Amino acid sequence: MTDRRQFAPATERNRTPILNVLKAWLPETGTVLEIASGTGEHAVFFAPRITPVKWQPSNREIDQMESVTDWIAHSPSENLLPPVTLDVTDPLWPVEEAHYNGAPITAIFNANMIHISPWQTCEGLMAGAGRILPKGGRLILYGPFKYDGEHTSRSNEEFDGWLKARDGEFGVRDIRDVMDEASKNGIRHLIARPMPANNFLHLFEKT
């Protein structure tokens, strides 16, 4: 049988520092919806370490869905749900459908998406979070960010230039813009946590 698992070296490097923060920030019950699970390596690492909370992976691209599926088959966990196909820009997410059996979604986790996609993905992410999270539900973002228009490191500035050369709609986002978009959807920013390699974890909460 073909092994469709993909591997992202950065995931193996950052997963433990991220997990340490997630354990403090995640709710104690419900399901965490991971937006843009990528290879699926985060999902299979985090899920067994946050029980009894469930972990719901999702992706938009078919090859990434296949990778997550095979990672789960390789490293199953009782609280790790099958991946769902999800595009954050859609007006209705599959986890909002009446037949979805992983409810309630009490938290959303998203790593490294909004800077490698058009701004509409951030808008869609915040709109969806505003729709599905209960009061007190949490949204956690991981990745590089600017602060008040300034990069936090030379490497992030160079990365931003590389992204924009690849696609003019890509780029490291200013956390103030992200916070403004969140606020439009009833979500407030609580705290930022510096992480290795000039990344950050940002915690938001549904009001």
Q: Which two tokens stand for residue 152?
A: 């936090």
CA atoms within 13 Å, Cβ hemisphere of 94: 16
For residue 41, give the nearest of 63, 68, 21 by alpha carbon: 68
* Residue 168 per-residue DSSP state: T
In this predicted structure, what is the pLDDT of residue 1? Answer: 67
Instruction: Say how many domains are in the chain.
Output: 1
In a domain, 82, yes or no: yes
Classify 192 as helix, strand or coil.
strand
In a domain, 4, yes or no: no
In a domain, 169, yes or no: yes
- CATH code of the domain containing 195: 3.40.50.150
Place of tokens 């979070």: 129
Q: Is 6 left (phi over 0), alpha (psi -120 to 50) or beta?
A: beta
* Residue 153 per-residue DSSP state: S
Assess contact for 23 and 201: CB atoms under 8 A.
no
In a domain, 56, yes or no: yes
In a domain, 79, yes or no: yes
Dist. CA 206–CA 93, nearest whole Å: 18
Q: In what order do the strands lie in the sheet with 138-143?
A: 54-56, 31-35, 105-111, 138-143, 199-206, 187-195
In a domain, 73, yes or no: yes
Which portions of the chain are predicted below pLDDT 50? none
* Each residue's pLDDT tens digit, 18-59: 999 999 999 999 999 999 999 999 999 999 999 999 999 999
Q: Which residues on adjacent β-strands are paired with residue 193?
A: 201
Boundaries of domain holding 138: 9-206
